Structure 1
Amino acid sequence: MKIALLGTGFGQAHAAVYAARGDVEVVMFGRDPEKTAQTAARFGFASSTNADAAFEDPSFDLVDICLPIPLHTEYVLRTLDAGKHALVELPLADDIEDAERVADAAARSGKQVFVNMYGRFIPATRALLDAVREGTYGRLEQLTLWNKTAPLWPGASLGLKVLPLEAMHSDMDLITHTLGQPRDVTVTTVARDADSGAVEATFDYEGASARSSVSSLMPMPWGARGGYTATFEHAVLDARSTMGFDGKPSGTVTAYTADGSRELDLPPADQYTAMIDHVLAVLRGETENQIGPDSVLDALQLTFDVDQRVNSPR
């Protein structure tokens, strides 16, 4: 499998996974020749500043798009026009109309489009989704999600302008998968400066509620921490995790029932590796695509609803 990796920023998180595999060949593309060459060399990849080659070179099977959000739609559609598969960082697009265009184009193309919904591969998230799907503890009544981080990514803004799309999308995905679209959304915010802030969003349902809390106000020793508390009719699942730039969290999920508490047995947590494993398995014909663009539209719409309340007018 030959992969064109576009982007030397967050593309490094994908690069680290590819570098550990023996079944892919990767070329990293970027704008700055020196930075691109140095970054690619760290992972043992070739490099290029000629982005056109990613689409024109017939040897590339997959284009991995780790570019700024406003470029996602353009580059996914260009990838499909070139007859190649696409993996795109989340969110899929910066408005719902473009996201629907991509979903429609993917359905017509005969090629696979994957959205990096890495949160679906976190073991703690899978435990919650399984419990809801199987009715293990009865109906889900209340879901609280939280993610609080220090500024771990030098030069990256985590202010109110970007928090909804870049930090809350995975929460919206989990909320819509477990409870659907809410009847109402309420948002409150805190802005320390242009690059740090906090958002609290609450979601109203018939007989249920959800909350998503994100913050970039934490000091560096805090690192990044997150989790959820899911209250069911007959139990509570409580998850806690820490996570760094490598996307490899450590954490636990504890189930509380009338009989006591127990820690769930979770598989090792490495959601980026699991996501890319899934992408390559789909391309080998071993499984069905679980992170296609049509599967993210509900979560994306809810993310935009929150973003509009935080940043309207944008």
Structure 2
Amino acid sequence: MVRIGLIGLGFMGRMHIAAYDKLEGAELVAVADKDPKRAAGDLSGGWGNIDGAAEQLDMTKVTGSTDFHELINNPDVDMVDICVPTPFHEELAVAALQAGKHVLCEKPLAMDSASAQRIADAAEKSGRVFMPAMCMRFWPQWVWLKQAVDAGTYGKVLGATFRRCASMPPGWFSNGELSGGAILDLHIHDTDFVYYLFGMPAAVRSAGYTKTSGKTDHITTQYLYDDGPTFVSAEGSWCMADGFAFTMRYTVNFENATVDFDVSRENPLIVYAGGEAEHITLEGDGYNAELAHLVECINAGKAPTTVTAADAVASIRIIEAEQKSIDTGEAVKL
């Protein structure tokens, strides 16, 4: 049994709590949040762009604290799950690893690649199991797409587009010094998945602007490959008007089929081939599968393979190249 200590009880922390409730082989034993109400188990009043977050936590067997380091040093905790704003990831992740804990750290791993690399180095030195929480690599329809690309099920990929757009979420996200803007906190999902599918691009060409956070809040990027799909692009935004429904979509054009996913549809995933439309039904979300993979790795004493600390560093490097492209108006090589 892996005993979990969770730091940060905002939207992502509440999603993780709901996932742990369904997960065999793991038990939530401690939580910490700067808000005393949340630390006492009252998680009501939060927001979320995906349904399923916990609203109340049964504290009968859970220790609550407003001190993050008290949780890290709790001898009853085997693994620390870090769900706080990004600037605090390095301090907490390194402290937990040095305390001998396994660690799950929410995305983005850090505010920049140098900080992310320090976390990766600390993880390697610690000998503990460490995983960045890149949930799209575990999302059923994204797992399906990865398998289809790798197996060549529909032939080679000719082009791929990804779109993830929303209005500005409430809370600290509108402060770019905490969130890094949509380019880092939101768009990294798709940048990372492009990297997962096709490898490191030779270069990126991006355009973007800021609206609220002071950082880039709306971005479009072309990922340029010397030997890969002709066209790969992604758009990410927190600049839509209030009331705009959260958009999460991809369209991938293969030699022999077009695959389209749109989270807003009753049947989100459709394959168009041979004049027919096939609806692919897949249940669940990425949070349950993500946490199950990590717990399985801890119990087996092996390193995660679906996503690694090195992957998280690489994805932030690409984001930094995208920002440089916005700043210079030129393609940036990687």
TM norm structure 2: 0.81
Taking a change above 3 Å as real, the CA distance of residues 264 and 296 of structure 1, as seen in their structure-2 partners, is farther
1:202 paired to 2:216:
no
Match of 2:8 in 1: 7
- Counterpart mapping for 1:82-121 below 5 A: 82-121=99-138
Deviation at 1:60, TM superposition (A): 0.6
Task: State the partner residue of 1:272.
Answer: 287
2:270 equivalent to 1:241: no
- Which residue identity lines up with residue 310 of structure 2 in the other structure? D
CA contact (8 A) 2:206 2:322 kept: yes
* Closer/same/farther in 2, CA of residues 75 and 155 from structure 1, 3 Å limit: closer
The whole-number CA distance in structure 1 between the counterparts of 2:266 and 2:288 is: 14
Which residues in structure 2 correspond to 1:59-74 (within 5 Å)? 59-74=76-91
Change (3 A) 1:250 1:113: farther
SS at match of 2:256: coil
Q: 1:161–1:311: 8 Å Cα contact kept in structure 2?
A: no
Alpha-carbon distance in 2 for matches of 1:212, 1:294: 22
| Amino acid paired to 2:58 | G
Deviation track 1:41-98 (CA, whole Å, cap 9, x = no partner) reads 9211331123222222221100111122122122111111111100100011222223
Q: Secondary structure at the match of 2:239?
A: coil
Cα deviation 1:227-282 (Å, max 9, x = unaligned): 1111122222111113xxxxxx975222222x123334332032111211222122
Contact 1:16 1:43 (C-alpha < 8 Å) held by counterparts? no
Q: 1:110 to 1:288 in 2, by over 3 A?
A: closer
Q: In structure 2, the residue corresponding to 1:104 is in which secondary structure?
A: helix
Larger mean CA deviation between 76-85 and 100-109 belongs to 100-109
Please give the alpha-carbon distance, in whole angstroms, between the structure 1 residues aligned to 2:209 and 2:290.
33
The amino acid across from 2:307 in the alignment is I
Instruction: Describe the shift of the 1:262–1:151 C-alpha distance in structure 2 as closer, same or farther (beyond 3 A).
Output: same
Q: How many Å separate the matches in 2 of 1:287 and 1:85?
A: 11
Deviation at 1:158, TM superposition (A): 8.0
Q: What's the counterpart of residue 43 of structure 1?
A: 57
Among candidates 47, 50, 54, match of residue 71 of structure 2 = 54
Aligned to 2:247: 225
Asked if 2 retains the 8 angstrom alpha-carbon contact of 1:165 and 1:307, the reply is no
Residue of structure 2 in register with 1:27 after alignment: 30
Distance 2:144 2:198 in 1: 15
Q: Which residue of 1 aligns with 2:52?
A: none
Structure 1 residue aligned with 2:298, among 270, 278, 283?
283
| Contact 1:5 1:11 (8 Å CA) reproduced | yes
Residues 19-62 of structure 1 deviation map (CA, whole Å, 9 limit, x = unaligned) = 44574133211223244225369211331123222222221100
The residue number in structure 1 matching 2:192 is: 173
Superposition CA RMSD, Å:
2.7
| Amino acid corresponding to residue 225 of structure 1 in structure 2 | T
The structure-2 alpha-carbon separation of the partners of 1:192 and 1:70, relative to structure 1 and needing over 3 Å to count, comes to closer
| Per-residue deviation, residues 138-178 of structure 1 (Å, max 9, x unmatched) | 22121110012134545532879511110111111111122
Aligned to 2:272: 256
Partners of 1:214 and 1:194 in 2: CA distance: 14
What letter is aligned with 1:5? Answer: L
2:138 aligned with 1:135:
no
Matches of 1:287 and 1:222, distance apart in 2? 42
Tell me, in whole angstroms, the C-alpha distance in 1 between the residues paired with 2:67 and 2:211. Answer: 39
CA contact (8 A) 1:8 1:39 kept: no
| Distance verdict in 2 for CA 1:198–1:52, change over 3 Å | closer
SS of equivalent residue, structure 1 residue 43? coil
The unaligned stretches of length 5 or more in structure 1 are 243-248
Among all aligned residue pairs of Structure 1 and Structure 2, give the percentage whose two residues are the same amino acid.
26
| Structure 1 residue 191: Cα displacement | 3.6
Stretches of structure 2 lacking an aligned partner (at least 5 in a row)? 44-54, 329-334
> Retained in 1: the 8 A contact 2:183–2:218?
no
Residue 16 of structure 1: how far off its partner (Å): 2.4
Q: How many residues align?
A: 305
Are the equivalent residues in 1 in contact too, given 2:107–2:132 (CA < 8 A)?
A: yes
Counterpart residue identity of residue 298, structure 1: A
Question: What amino acid maps onto 2:193 in structure 1?
Answer: L
Aligned to 1:17, which of 12, 16, 19? Answer: 19
